[in-house]
A and B are shown apart, each in its own frame.
Chain A
Amino acid sequence: MARVTELLVNGSTRRIDADPDRTLLSVLRDDLDLTGTKFGCGEGQCAACTVLVDGVATRSCLTRVGTVAGKRITTIEGLAAAGALHPVQQAFLDHDAMQCGYCTPGMILGAVSLLGRNPNPSDAEIVSGMNGHICRCGTYPRVVAAIREAARKGGRA
């Protein structure tokens, strides 16, 4: 397969030169310095590496970069349009829904994706929709509260 030379990230076309078998996570972090996307496990278990691909939460550690060429990729760095926080980011801040914050970028993008498919989720739907994300600090109740509030305020943005 041919090398990947362009990636559509956060609304702009970024020139890269990557083996198509590399993980999207590594290309974002190590080639484009978009380190807001986190490595937590590399095995699809923690969702710290979540990005949006065409608006859908995707684990970048399990995604070959060759499969997302030409697709719209949004990382946590691209979520705050022109400096104004996305309602989900704001809700995480307002609820202090973090401790070390290492899971937070992935959680936020997971929540944005969830609200995209279900703008008004019940608590049970938030729990099942977010259950793939690990927060080892245990901020789960706060994350649920933040997502509930973002939904109430129309977190779709």
Chain B
Amino acid sequence: MITRRDFFAMVGGGIVVLIAEDDLLAQETGGRLRGRNTMPEEVSAWLHVGENGAVTGYTGKVEIGQNARTSLTLAIAEELRAPVASVTMVMGDTALTPFDQGTVGSQTTPRMWPQMRRAAAEAREMLLDLAAKKWSVDRLSLKIAEGRVSAGERSAGFGELTRGEKLTRTIPANVALTPAAEWKVAGTSLRKLNGREIVTGAHKYPYDATRPGMLWAKVLYPAQFGATLRSLDSAAAGAMPGVKVVHDGDFVAVAAPAPEVAEKALAALKAEWNPVTVEVDSRNVYDYFKRNARDAATNPALVPYHIAYIAHVPLEPRAAVAEWRDGKLAVWTGTQRPFGVRGELAQYFGIGEEDVHVIMPDMGSGYGGKHQGDAALEAARIAKALGKPVKRNWTRQEEMTWAYFRPGGLIEVAGTTAPDGTVTGWEFHNYNSGPSGLVSPYAFSSRKEEYHGVRSPLRQGSYRGLAATANHFVRESYMDELAHSIGMDPLAFRLKNAKEERLRNVIVAAAGKFGWKGRKKTPGHGFGIAAGFEKGSYVATCAEVSVDPASGATKVLRAVIAFECGAIVNPDHLRNQVEGAVAQGIGGALFEQIDFAAGRITNNRLARYRVPRFADMPVIESVLLDRKDIPSAGAGETPIVGIAPAIGNAIFDAAGKRIRRMPLQA
């Protein structure tokens, strides 16, 4: 744990504000704490105003393309009244930033963003105190703007005020914040902060990290999931110049001073694996889910939907460099949970967390797919065995085999509706895919919604929106089925059952912008609508598709998304997230699926696993509803949940065929 003294040794003088994890400190002390000497363990963020006026926010959150670095900078600039250019964010470095659970579940905006604002608001008050004291003037006569405090003729930059100071305040997380309606900097479309480093290629991603004297490592993976090593002949590999072989049980790796040598050494390893018998494959897995679930449903009216496993395919595969020094480990790696990876490593090697330093450079995305430290652990094991820094970059095929997948699932649904469109009964069972978004946001008077866990045949984990995508796909498809069963317009049917104001607002906004009421049916074209709620945000999506009558090939022509996530933090970045979620969602909706059989992934390369490309893009229009009266929620995930059912419903409209599986392939 960093102490106050260490902290100032690290950053120089100035003022520091520590933010205590929500409520913890307040409960502990009954109120505001000042001048505490040691940083409490519950600190979740801190902020430093240096003697040169530079402002630095420290958070364990990471930047993975969702533009948290930019939004947190906005938070600080807003509350501190500091120019954006004077603010820097230090993120995801376990030695410099406070503990954080991870950049997951769209929590940065609802939780970290207000904390950064509170830290900045408190720093602003401290600067005002300093100026009042310095000039012996009434605090109320002071103005603070653009990185300066002024009183009449007198004015001082933040640096002049903090010079020679070593002030700390620890505050509970409930100081007053500027209301969204009065924001000046927050709520504006600040561009991505390190965009210039990206367009010039200067930014170093985890895949680019190096250490002096490092070796390049390759790992020999089994021929099937779960296979154990029967025999290994590494003589040829070990005889190659500079090559070292690491063999520890079933773990086999080679390392060399140059990457191409490590590759050749890997190819020269001769291994035999004990075969495993696996009966589950990507075709029969849906029966497997039902057979192996506890309390599987029995209602004969239930209609089954199938959800395929899919891969995240972050364009940057997993990567790590590990270096041991005096029993301490430093790792540069791409992960959404640097502190989680620190814990994994400390536990594996039986050392203290304080002896593991995880550094997370802004990475080539994750979408929920980079929670664990697989590459980091491999690099650290090999580095430990060889006594040299080791770089371990995964290939695309490794990423698409040995990472984890978005869960596949079987979802069963049944419902009844009154002639006026009121849903009178609703039963919904999700097997394996997950409980997120299971509960319908519609006002069903009678409902049964259950999640049934199953032991997944593939390693599975979180994915943008988790199971909310699958659950919305099925719910919104089935809502359409019910609407058609009574000959009711799908929009009117949804509005009949949507009682929440925020849900109704997005449905009305999307349908209005799309021109739902005036839509004109032409042969081979169809229109679909879907709506939903997840992680504090509401979304409605309308889609227009064309379906080729001969091949069934579907093209999405137009998508309109209405999205509401409370007060908007950065409109252009929100739009970017909405567009990106729709683009990514089209992949899962139309063509992405992981094929597996006999304990192997059979389409673990991009030539066999199709992801959305330029030519797959519809015209995307977003309607952003700004609710300044509602705290901001995250937006990286929820916009994805509406596109698949909107497309599926549009296919039904175009071709009269209900496809009860995702991807939507008949």
Q: Mark B119-138, 1 if CB is under 8 A from A, else 0.
A: 00000000000000000000
Give the contacting residue for A101; candidates B191, B203, B612, B620; CB below 8 A.
B203
Tell me if A138 and B365 are in contact (CB < 8 A).
Answer: no
Tell me if A36 and B611 are in contact (CB < 8 A).
Answer: no
Residues of B within 8 A of A40 (CB): 315-316, 396
**Closest CB in chain B relative to A41 CB, distance in Å:** 4
Tell me if B612 and A41 are in contact (CB < 8 A).
Answer: no
Chain A residue at smallest Cβ distance from B572? A96
Tell me if B195 and A26 are in contact (CB < 8 A).
Answer: no
Tell me if A102 and B258 are in contact (CB < 8 A).
Answer: no
Most buried by B among A30, A79, A137, A139: A137
Tell me if A138 and B606 are in contact (CB < 8 A).
Answer: no
Give the contacting residue for B198; candidates A34, A104, A141; CB below 8 A.
A104
Chain B residue at smallest Cβ distance from A19? B260
Tell me if A101 and B65 are in contact (CB < 8 A).
Answer: yes
Asked if A136 is at the interface of the complex by the 8 Å CB criterion, the answer is: yes
CA distance A134 to B363 in the complex (A): 16
Residues of B within 8 A of A26 (CB): 259-260
* CB interface residues, A 67-86, toward B, < 8 Å: 75-77, 79-80, 85
Give the contacting residue for A22; candidates B204, B260, B364, B606; CB below 8 A.
B260
Tell me if B581 and A138 are in contact (CB < 8 A).
Answer: yes
Residues of B within 8 A of A35 (CB): 201, 204-205, 207-208
Tell me if B615 and A136 are in contact (CB < 8 A).
Answer: no
Give the contacting residue for B580; candidates A33, A38, A41, A137; CB below 8 A.
A137
Asked if B432 is at the interface of the complex by the 8 Å CB criterion, the answer is: no
Chain A residue at smallest Cβ distance from B64? A100
CA distance A39 to B207 in the complex (A): 8
Asked if B271 is at the interface of the complex by the 8 Å CB criterion, the answer is: no
Q: Mark B597-611, 1 if CB is under 8 A from A, else 0.
A: 000000001110001
Known: A131-B615, A138-B612, A140-B617. A93 touches B573 (CB 8 A): no
Asked if B613 is at the interface of the complex by the 8 Å CB criterion, the answer is: yes
Asked if B503 is at the interface of the complex by the 8 Å CB criterion, the answer is: no
Residues of B within 8 A of A39 (CB): 207, 317, 393
Chain A residue at smallest Cβ distance from B395? A42
CA distance A22 to B615 in the complex (A): 32
**Closest CB in chain B relative to A111 CB, distance in Å:** 11
Known: A42-B396, A45-B606. A134 touches B198 (CB 8 A): no
Give the contacting residue for A80; candidates B200, B579, B615, B617; CB below 8 A.
B200
Known: A36-B202, A139-B576. A41 touches B195 (CB 8 A): no
Residues of A within 8 A of B258 (CB): 30
Chain B residue at smallest Cβ distance from A22? B260
Tell me if B365 and A137 are in contact (CB < 8 A).
Answer: yes
**Closest CB in chain B relative to A138 CB, distance in Å:** 3
Known: A96-B195, A138-B580. A38 touches B207 (CB 8 A): yes
Tell me if A134 and B606 are in contact (CB < 8 A).
Answer: yes
**Closest CB in chain A relative to B585 CB, distance in Å:** 9
Tell me if B316 and A38 are in contact (CB < 8 A).
Answer: yes
Known: A76-B200, A100-B64, A102-B205. A136 touches B313 (CB 8 A): yes
Residues of A within 8 A of B230 (CB): none
CA distance A127 to B65 in the complex (A): 23
Asked if B314 is at the interface of the complex by the 8 Å CB criterion, the answer is: yes
Residues of A within 8 A of B573 (CB): 96
Residues of B within 8 A of A138 (CB): 579-584, 612
Chain A residue at smallest Cβ distance from B366? A100
Tell me if B199 and A92 are in contact (CB < 8 A).
Answer: yes
CA distance A142 to B396 in the complex (A): 26
Asked if A9 is at the interface of the complex by the 8 Å CB criterion, the answer is: no
State the main secondary structure of chain A at its contact with B.
loop
Chain A residue at smallest Cβ distance from B640? A138
Chain B residue at smallest Cβ distance from A85? B199
Q: Mark A115-145, 1 if CB is under 8 A from B, else 0.
A: 0000000000011101101111111111110
CA distance A80 to B607 in the complex (A): 33
Most buried by B among A79, A96, A126, A143: A96
Q: Mark A135-157, 1 if CB is under 8 A from B, else 0.
A: 11111111110000000000000
Asked if A46 is at the interface of the complex by the 8 Å CB criterion, the answer is: yes
* CB interface residues, A 48-107, toward B, < 8 Å: 48, 75-77, 79-80, 85, 89-90, 92-93, 96, 98-105
Tell me if A93 and B196 are in contact (CB < 8 A).
Answer: yes
Known: A30-B259, A92-B199. A100 touches B364 (CB 8 A): yes
* CB interface residues, B 164-197, toward A, < 8 Å: 191-192, 195-196
Q: Mark B233-268, 1 if CB is under 8 A from A, else 0.
A: 000000000000000000000000011100000000
Asked if A4 is at the interface of the complex by the 8 Å CB criterion, the answer is: no
Residues of A within 8 A of B395 (CB): 42
**Closest CB in chain B relative to A142 CB, distance in Å:** 7
Residues of A within 8 A of B192 (CB): 96, 98, 101
Tell me if B196 and A102 are in contact (CB < 8 A).
Answer: no
Most buried by A among B204, B313, B576, B611: B576
Tell me if B613 and A134 are in contact (CB < 8 A).
Answer: yes
Give the contacting residue for A41; candidates B207, B396, B579; CB below 8 A.
B396
CA distance A54 to B300 in the complex (A): 66
Residues of A within 8 A of B367 (CB): 136
Give the contacting residue for A76; candidates B196, B201, B607; CB below 8 A.
B201
**Closest CB in chain B relative to A51 CB, distance in Å:** 10
Tell me if B583 and A140 are in contact (CB < 8 A).
Answer: yes
Residues of A within 8 A of B259 (CB): 26, 30
Residues of B within 8 A of A46 (CB): 315, 606
**Closest CB in chain B relative to A11 CB, distance in Å:** 15
CA distance A126 to B363 in the complex (A): 27
Most buried by B among A75, A79, A101: A101
Tell me if B199 and A104 are in contact (CB < 8 A).
Answer: yes
Most buried by A among B363, B364, B611, B617: B364
Give the contacting residue for A36; candidates B196, B200, B396, B605; CB below 8 A.
B200
Tell me if A142 and B606 are in contact (CB < 8 A).
Answer: no
Asked if A24 is at the interface of the complex by the 8 Å CB criterion, the answer is: no
Q: Can you give 16 A-B contacts (C-beta < 8 A)?
A: A26-B260, A48-B315, A77-B200, A89-B200, A93-B196, A96-B573, A101-B192, A101-B198, A101-B199, A102-B364, A128-B615, A130-B614, A136-B611, A139-B576, A142-B579, A143-B614
Closest 7 CB pairs of A and B: A36-B201, A138-B583, A100-B65, A102-B364, A76-B201, A101-B198, A45-B606
